[in-house]
């Protein structure tokens, strides 16, 4: 009976983590395919202002 309980607990945990992984990767793929990334309006000029690159 203890072995059966252990099997059910392990199987239940695997099902739970499988569902969590599926939800996460679907969310992640939607976020990556959402289009251009949102950045600050002047983020492209920041390295120049800091003197890291030449204008």
pLDDT in tens, 1-52: 899 998 899 998 999 999 999 999 999 888 877 666 666 666 667 777 777 7
In the DSSP assignment, the letter for residue 1 is -
| pLDDT given at position 55 | 61
CA dihedral angle for residue 47, residue 48, residue 52, residue 55, rounded to 10 degrees = 140
Q: Global pTM?
A: 0.51
Count of domains observed in the chain: 1
**Does any domain span residue 48?**
no
**Does any domain span residue 55?**
no
**Does any domain span residue 45?**
no
**Does any domain span residue 28?**
yes
Q: Which domain holds residue 7?
A: 2-36
**Does any domain span residue 14?**
yes
Considering only CA atoms, give the Rg of the chain: 23
**Does any domain span residue 19?**
yes
């Amino acid at each position: 009976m203890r072995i059966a309980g252990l099997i059910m607990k392990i199987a239940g945990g695997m099902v739970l983590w499988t569902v969590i992984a599926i939800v996460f990767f679907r969310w992640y793929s939607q976020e990556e395919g959402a289009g251009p990334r949102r950045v600050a309006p002047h983020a492209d000029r920041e390295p120049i202002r800091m003197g890291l690159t030449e204008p």
